[in-house]
Structure 1
Amino acid sequence: MAGLEGMEQPRRHGSATAARWSPAVEDERALKALELFGNPTEAEVPLPSRPESAATARRLAQVVVLRQWGLSPKMTEDAVLLVSELVGNAVRHTGARVFGLRMRRRRGWIRIEVRDPSRGLPCLMPVQEMDVSGRGLFLVDKLSDRWGVDLLPRGKTTWFEMRVADR
Protein backbone atom coordinates (compact mmCIF):
# COMPACT_ATOMS: atom_id res chain seq x y z
CA MET A 1 0.00 0.00 0.00
CA ALA A 2 2.80 2.34 -0.93
CA GLY A 3 0.39 4.84 -2.46
CA LEU A 4 -1.39 5.37 0.85
CA GLU A 5 1.71 6.23 2.85
CA GLY A 6 1.60 9.72 4.18
CA MET A 7 -2.14 10.06 3.54
CA GLU A 8 -4.17 10.76 6.62
CA GLN A 9 -6.71 8.06 7.31
CA PRO A 10 -10.14 9.11 8.59
CA ARG A 11 -10.54 8.74 12.32
CA ARG A 12 -13.34 6.38 13.16
CA HIS A 13 -13.97 7.90 16.57
CA GLY A 14 -14.38 11.42 15.20
CA SER A 15 -16.68 10.39 12.37
CA ALA A 16 -18.87 8.31 14.70
CA THR A 17 -19.27 11.31 16.98
CA ALA A 18 -20.11 13.54 14.02
CA ALA A 19 -22.77 11.09 12.87
CA ARG A 20 -24.44 11.20 16.28
CA TRP A 21 -24.91 14.97 16.30
CA SER A 22 -24.94 17.40 13.45
CA PRO A 23 -27.38 20.09 12.35
CA ALA A 24 -28.72 17.76 9.63
CA VAL A 25 -29.22 14.86 12.07
CA GLU A 26 -30.89 17.17 14.60
CA ASP A 27 -33.14 18.60 11.89
CA GLU A 28 -34.14 15.07 10.89
CA ARG A 29 -34.90 14.20 14.53
CA ALA A 30 -36.99 17.37 14.86
CA LEU A 31 -39.10 16.47 11.83
CA LYS A 32 -39.48 12.91 13.15
CA ALA A 33 -40.74 14.29 16.51
CA LEU A 34 -43.31 16.37 14.63
CA GLU A 35 -44.45 13.27 12.74
CA LEU A 36 -44.63 11.08 15.87
CA PHE A 37 -46.18 13.48 18.38
CA GLY A 38 -48.10 15.98 16.25
CA ASN A 39 -47.92 19.69 15.65
CA PRO A 40 -48.25 21.75 18.86
CA THR A 41 -49.56 24.72 16.84
CA GLU A 42 -52.62 22.72 15.76
CA ALA A 43 -53.51 21.05 19.06
CA GLU A 44 -51.97 20.33 22.43
CA VAL A 45 -49.37 17.58 22.08
CA PRO A 46 -49.34 15.05 24.95
CA LEU A 47 -45.85 13.97 26.02
CA PRO A 48 -44.87 11.36 28.62
CA SER A 49 -43.47 12.77 31.83
CA ARG A 50 -39.94 11.44 31.33
CA PRO A 51 -36.63 13.30 31.13
CA GLU A 52 -36.23 12.47 27.42
CA SER A 53 -39.43 14.42 26.68
CA ALA A 54 -37.45 17.63 27.17
CA ALA A 55 -35.46 16.73 24.03
CA THR A 56 -38.68 15.99 22.15
CA ALA A 57 -40.19 19.32 23.22
CA ARG A 58 -37.01 21.15 22.18
CA ARG A 59 -37.14 19.51 18.76
CA LEU A 60 -40.81 20.40 18.31
CA ALA A 61 -40.08 24.00 19.29
CA GLN A 62 -37.17 24.13 16.87
CA VAL A 63 -39.33 22.95 13.96
CA VAL A 64 -42.19 25.31 14.77
CA VAL A 65 -40.28 28.48 15.70
CA LEU A 66 -37.57 28.28 13.06
CA ARG A 67 -39.25 26.50 10.14
CA GLN A 68 -42.98 27.17 10.46
CA TRP A 69 -42.86 30.64 11.95
CA GLY A 70 -39.58 31.67 10.31
CA LEU A 71 -38.21 33.46 13.36
CA SER A 72 -34.57 34.30 13.90
CA PRO A 73 -32.02 31.73 15.06
CA LYS A 74 -31.53 33.74 18.31
CA MET A 75 -35.26 33.78 19.08
CA THR A 76 -35.44 30.07 18.22
CA GLU A 77 -32.52 29.34 20.54
CA ASP A 78 -34.16 31.24 23.43
CA ALA A 79 -37.59 29.68 22.86
CA VAL A 80 -36.10 26.17 22.66
CA LEU A 81 -34.20 26.73 25.93
CA LEU A 82 -37.31 28.02 27.72
CA VAL A 83 -39.45 25.13 26.45
CA SER A 84 -36.85 22.79 27.90
CA GLU A 85 -37.02 24.56 31.27
CA LEU A 86 -40.84 24.42 31.48
CA VAL A 87 -40.86 20.77 30.45
CA GLY A 88 -38.09 19.96 32.92
CA ASN A 89 -40.14 21.54 35.72
CA ALA A 90 -43.24 19.57 34.71
CA VAL A 91 -41.28 16.31 34.68
CA ARG A 92 -39.42 16.94 37.96
CA HIS A 93 -42.00 18.64 40.13
CA THR A 94 -45.54 17.63 39.20
CA GLY A 95 -45.73 13.85 39.54
CA ALA A 96 -47.72 13.78 36.29
CA ARG A 97 -47.62 10.82 33.94
CA VAL A 98 -48.32 13.05 30.92
CA PHE A 99 -48.16 16.78 30.22
CA GLY A 100 -49.28 18.85 27.25
CA LEU A 101 -47.29 21.19 25.00
CA ARG A 102 -48.93 23.93 22.96
CA MET A 103 -47.43 26.71 20.81
CA ARG A 104 -49.35 29.71 19.55
CA ARG A 105 -48.57 32.73 17.47
CA ARG A 106 -50.55 35.89 17.19
CA ARG A 107 -49.68 39.30 15.85
CA GLY A 108 -46.43 40.39 17.49
CA TRP A 109 -46.18 37.48 19.97
CA ILE A 110 -45.44 33.81 20.38
CA ARG A 111 -46.80 31.90 23.36
CA ILE A 112 -45.63 28.49 24.53
CA GLU A 113 -47.60 26.56 27.14
CA VAL A 114 -46.98 23.44 29.21
CA ARG A 115 -50.09 22.01 30.89
CA ASP A 116 -49.89 19.48 33.70
CA PRO A 117 -52.37 17.99 36.21
CA SER A 118 -50.69 19.47 39.31
CA ARG A 119 -52.06 22.60 40.96
CA GLY A 120 -48.72 23.22 42.70
CA LEU A 121 -47.44 26.60 41.62
CA PRO A 122 -43.92 27.07 40.28
CA CYS A 123 -41.78 29.40 42.35
CA LEU A 124 -39.27 31.94 41.04
CA MET A 125 -36.32 31.59 43.38
CA PRO A 126 -33.35 33.92 43.79
CA VAL A 127 -30.37 32.44 41.96
CA GLN A 128 -26.77 32.56 43.13
CA GLU A 129 -23.80 32.29 40.78
CA MET A 130 -22.74 28.86 42.08
CA ASP A 131 -26.23 27.28 42.10
CA VAL A 132 -26.38 24.06 40.11
CA SER A 133 -30.18 23.83 39.95
CA GLY A 134 -33.21 26.07 40.36
CA ARG A 135 -32.41 28.31 37.39
CA GLY A 136 -35.32 27.29 35.16
CA LEU A 137 -37.87 29.97 36.02
CA PHE A 138 -35.06 32.49 36.44
CA LEU A 139 -34.18 31.91 32.77
CA VAL A 140 -37.84 32.06 31.76
CA ASP A 141 -38.17 35.36 33.63
CA LYS A 142 -35.04 36.84 32.04
CA LEU A 143 -35.44 35.66 28.43
CA SER A 144 -39.21 35.94 27.91
CA ASP A 145 -41.18 39.16 27.77
CA ARG A 146 -43.78 37.78 30.15
CA TRP A 147 -44.72 34.50 31.75
CA GLY A 148 -47.28 33.14 34.16
CA VAL A 149 -49.43 30.31 35.39
CA ASP A 150 -53.12 29.77 34.72
CA LEU A 151 -54.84 27.53 37.28
CA LEU A 152 -57.30 25.10 35.74
CA PRO A 153 -60.02 22.98 37.38
CA ARG A 154 -57.61 20.05 37.09
CA GLY A 155 -54.06 21.31 37.00
CA LYS A 156 -52.36 24.35 35.54
CA THR A 157 -50.79 25.81 32.44
CA THR A 158 -47.38 27.43 32.78
CA TRP A 159 -46.61 29.69 29.83
CA PHE A 160 -44.23 32.28 28.46
CA GLU A 161 -44.56 34.85 25.71
CA MET A 162 -41.98 36.54 23.53
CA ARG A 163 -42.40 39.58 21.30
CA VAL A 164 -41.71 38.98 17.63
CA ALA A 165 -41.42 41.29 14.68
CA ASP A 166 -44.16 40.58 12.17
CA ARG A 167 -43.17 40.85 8.55
Structure 2
Amino acid sequence: MAGLEGIEQPQGRGRTTAARWSPAAEDERALKALELFGNPTEAEIPLPSRPESAATARRLAQVVVLRQWGLSAKTTEEAVLLVSELVGNAVRHTGARVFGLRMRRRKGWIRVEVRDPSRGLPCLMPVQEMDVSGRGLYLVDKLSDRWGVDLLPRGKTTWFEMRIAER
Protein backbone atom coordinates (compact mmCIF):
# COMPACT_ATOMS: atom_id res chain seq x y z
CA MET A 1 0.00 0.00 0.00
CA ALA A 2 2.91 2.33 -0.69
CA GLY A 3 1.88 5.93 -1.18
CA LEU A 4 -1.34 5.50 0.78
CA GLU A 5 -0.09 6.59 4.20
CA GLY A 6 -2.65 8.67 6.05
CA ILE A 7 -5.50 7.41 3.85
CA GLU A 8 -8.22 5.42 5.48
CA GLN A 9 -7.75 1.73 4.84
CA PRO A 10 -10.56 -0.86 4.92
CA GLN A 11 -10.61 -3.02 8.04
CA GLY A 12 -13.26 -5.56 7.02
CA ARG A 13 -17.05 -5.41 7.31
CA GLY A 14 -17.28 -1.78 6.27
CA ARG A 15 -15.08 -0.43 9.08
CA THR A 16 -12.22 1.91 8.24
CA THR A 17 -9.36 3.25 10.24
CA ALA A 18 -6.75 5.89 9.46
CA ALA A 19 -3.29 4.55 8.64
CA ARG A 20 -1.12 4.93 11.71
CA TRP A 21 1.41 7.74 11.76
CA SER A 22 4.33 7.90 14.12
CA PRO A 23 7.72 9.61 14.03
CA ALA A 24 9.42 6.21 13.86
CA ALA A 25 7.24 5.10 10.92
CA GLU A 26 7.88 8.41 9.14
CA ASP A 27 11.64 8.05 9.68
CA GLU A 28 11.44 4.55 8.23
CA ARG A 29 9.55 5.84 5.17
CA ALA A 30 12.09 8.65 4.71
CA LEU A 31 15.03 6.24 4.82
CA LYS A 32 13.21 3.91 2.41
CA ALA A 33 12.70 6.82 -0.02
CA LEU A 34 16.43 7.61 0.21
CA GLU A 35 17.24 3.99 -0.53
CA LEU A 36 14.79 3.74 -3.46
CA PHE A 37 15.41 7.06 -5.20
CA GLY A 38 18.90 8.12 -4.13
CA ASN A 39 20.30 11.10 -2.29
CA PRO A 40 19.36 14.45 -3.86
CA THR A 41 22.51 16.02 -2.38
CA GLU A 42 24.75 13.74 -4.43
CA ALA A 43 23.01 14.08 -7.79
CA GLU A 44 19.67 15.10 -9.26
CA ILE A 45 17.24 12.26 -8.64
CA PRO A 46 14.35 11.50 -10.99
CA LEU A 47 10.87 11.18 -9.51
CA PRO A 48 7.70 10.15 -11.34
CA SER A 49 5.30 13.00 -12.01
CA ARG A 50 2.53 11.69 -9.77
CA PRO A 51 0.85 13.33 -6.76
CA GLU A 52 2.40 10.81 -4.34
CA SER A 53 5.87 12.05 -5.37
CA ALA A 54 5.24 15.14 -3.24
CA ALA A 55 5.26 12.89 -0.15
CA THR A 56 8.44 11.20 -1.36
CA ALA A 57 10.13 14.57 -1.95
CA ARG A 58 9.03 15.79 1.51
CA ARG A 59 10.52 12.69 3.10
CA LEU A 60 13.77 13.09 1.19
CA ALA A 61 13.99 16.75 2.18
CA GLN A 62 13.34 15.89 5.81
CA VAL A 63 15.99 13.19 5.96
CA VAL A 64 18.55 15.44 4.22
CA VAL A 65 17.87 18.75 5.97
CA LEU A 66 17.28 17.40 9.48
CA ARG A 67 19.46 14.31 9.64
CA GLN A 68 22.23 14.79 7.09
CA TRP A 69 22.68 18.54 7.39
CA GLY A 70 21.56 18.80 11.03
CA LEU A 71 19.59 22.01 10.56
CA SER A 72 16.92 23.30 12.91
CA ALA A 73 13.39 21.92 13.08
CA LYS A 74 12.02 25.28 11.84
CA THR A 75 14.32 25.33 8.81
CA THR A 76 13.48 21.69 8.11
CA GLU A 77 9.74 22.34 8.36
CA GLU A 78 9.89 25.31 5.99
CA ALA A 79 12.19 23.54 3.50
CA VAL A 80 9.93 20.47 3.47
CA LEU A 81 6.86 22.64 2.83
CA LEU A 82 8.55 24.51 -0.02
CA VAL A 83 9.85 21.31 -1.61
CA SER A 84 6.28 20.03 -1.57
CA GLU A 85 5.04 23.20 -3.28
CA LEU A 86 7.64 23.09 -6.07
CA VAL A 87 7.01 19.39 -6.65
CA GLY A 88 3.25 19.94 -6.63
CA ASN A 89 3.63 22.62 -9.30
CA ALA A 90 5.81 20.35 -11.43
CA VAL A 91 3.27 17.52 -11.17
CA ARG A 92 0.18 19.67 -11.78
CA HIS A 93 1.34 22.13 -14.39
CA THR A 94 4.08 20.68 -16.60
CA GLY A 95 2.67 17.53 -18.19
CA ALA A 96 6.00 15.84 -17.51
CA ARG A 97 6.32 12.11 -16.87
CA VAL A 98 9.38 12.65 -14.66
CA PHE A 99 10.97 15.59 -12.88
CA GLY A 100 14.30 15.98 -11.10
CA LEU A 101 14.99 16.93 -7.47
CA ARG A 102 18.34 18.28 -6.30
CA MET A 103 19.38 19.75 -2.94
CA ARG A 104 22.59 21.68 -2.32
CA ARG A 105 24.23 23.26 0.66
CA ARG A 106 26.93 25.88 0.76
CA LYS A 107 28.16 28.06 3.58
CA GLY A 108 25.14 29.87 5.00
CA TRP A 109 22.63 28.63 2.37
CA ILE A 110 20.59 25.69 1.18
CA ARG A 111 19.20 25.46 -2.33
CA VAL A 112 16.48 23.14 -3.62
CA GLU A 113 15.92 22.67 -7.35
CA VAL A 114 13.09 20.99 -9.24
CA ARG A 115 13.80 20.44 -12.94
CA ASP A 116 11.09 19.59 -15.46
CA PRO A 117 10.87 19.44 -19.27
CA SER A 118 8.34 22.29 -19.61
CA ARG A 119 9.48 25.79 -20.55
CA GLY A 120 6.24 27.25 -19.19
CA LEU A 121 7.13 29.73 -16.47
CA PRO A 122 5.51 29.59 -13.04
CA CYS A 123 3.53 32.69 -12.15
CA LEU A 124 3.33 34.31 -8.73
CA MET A 125 -0.35 35.16 -8.35
CA PRO A 126 -1.98 37.45 -5.80
CA VAL A 127 -3.54 35.36 -3.06
CA GLN A 128 -6.77 36.13 -1.25
CA GLU A 129 -7.52 34.90 2.27
CA MET A 130 -10.23 32.46 1.17
CA ASP A 131 -8.37 31.01 -1.86
CA VAL A 132 -8.12 27.23 -1.74
CA SER A 133 -5.43 26.89 -4.42
CA GLY A 134 -2.70 28.96 -6.01
CA ARG A 135 -0.75 29.48 -2.79
CA GLY A 136 2.33 27.45 -3.74
CA LEU A 137 4.58 30.14 -5.18
CA TYR A 138 3.20 32.64 -2.69
CA LEU A 139 4.54 30.41 0.10
CA VAL A 140 7.84 29.96 -1.71
CA ASP A 141 8.10 33.73 -2.11
CA LYS A 142 7.29 34.42 1.56
CA LEU A 143 9.31 31.67 3.24
CA SER A 144 12.44 31.49 1.10
CA ASP A 145 15.10 34.17 0.95
CA ARG A 146 15.13 34.03 -2.83
CA TRP A 147 13.70 31.91 -5.61
CA GLY A 148 13.68 31.83 -9.36
CA VAL A 149 13.54 29.92 -12.59
CA ASP A 150 16.43 29.01 -14.88
CA LEU A 151 15.36 28.26 -18.45
CA LEU A 152 17.19 25.34 -20.00
CA PRO A 153 17.44 24.28 -23.64
CA ARG A 154 14.81 21.64 -22.82
CA GLY A 155 12.79 22.69 -19.82
CA LYS A 156 13.48 24.68 -16.71
CA THR A 157 14.71 24.49 -13.14
CA THR A 158 12.60 26.17 -10.48
CA TRP A 159 14.56 26.75 -7.28
CA PHE A 160 14.53 28.38 -3.88
CA GLU A 161 17.27 29.29 -1.44
CA MET A 162 17.15 29.73 2.31
CA ARG A 163 19.73 31.26 4.60
CA ILE A 164 20.85 28.97 7.39
CA ALA A 165 22.78 29.51 10.56
CA GLU A 166 26.08 27.66 10.52
CA ARG A 167 26.91 25.80 13.69
TM-score (norm. length: structure 1): 0.89
Distance, in Å, in 1 between the alignment partners of 2:109 and 2:166 is 9
Cα distance in 2 for residues equivalent to 1:46 and 1:63 = 17
**In the alignment, is the contact (CA less than 8 A) between 2:8 and 2:16 conserved in 1?**
no
Structure 1 residue 146, shift from structure 2 partner: 0.3
Q: 2 CA distance for matches of 1:125 and 1:5?
A: 31
Question: What is the CA distance between 1:17 and its match in structure 2?
Answer: 6.0
Is the Cα contact below 8 Å between 1:43 and 1:102 reproduced in 2? yes
Q: RMSD across aligned C-alpha pairs, in angstroms?
A: 7.8
CA spacing shift, 1:5–1:83, aligned 2, 3 Å: closer
Pick closer, same or farther for the CA change 1:5–1:114 going to 2, 3 Å.
closer
Name the count of aligned residue pairs. 167
Greater Cα offset, 96-105 or 3-12:
3-12
Deviation at 1:51, TM superposition (A): 0.2
Calculate percent identity across the aligned residue pairs: 90
| TM-score (norm. length: structure 2) | 0.89
Q: 1:99, 1:116 within 8 Å by CA — same for their partners in 2?
A: yes
Shift of 1:6: 33
Runs of 4+ aligned structure 1 residues displaced above 3 Å come to: 1-19
Aligned-residue offset at 1:13: 14
Residues 73 and 6 of structure 1, relative CA distance in 2, 3 Å threshold: closer
Distance 1:27 1:16, change over 3 A: farther
Gaps of 5+ in 2: none
- Report the CA distance shift for 1:63/1:3 in structure 2 as closer, same or farther (over 3 A): closer
Q: 1:162 to 1:7 in 2, by over 3 A?
A: closer
CA distance in 2, matches of 1:102, 1:50: 17
Residue 10 of structure 1 deviates from its aligned partner by 19
Distance change (3 Å), C-alpha of 1:101 and 1:9: closer
Deviation at residue 161 of structure 1 after TM alignment: 0.2
The equivalent residue for 2:47 is: 47
Distance 2:89 2:82 in 1: 11
Higher helix proportion: 1
In structure 2, distance between residues paired with 1:99 and 1:88: 11
Decide whether aligned partners of structure 1 residues 9 and 50 sit closer, same or farther in structure 2, where only a CA change above 3 A counts.
Answer: closer
Structure 1: which 5+ runs fail to align?
A: none
CA change 1:128–1:153 in 2 (3 A) is same
Contact map agreement 1:110 1:161 (CA 8 A) in 2: yes
Give the Cα separation in 2 of the matches to 1:150 and 1:160: 11
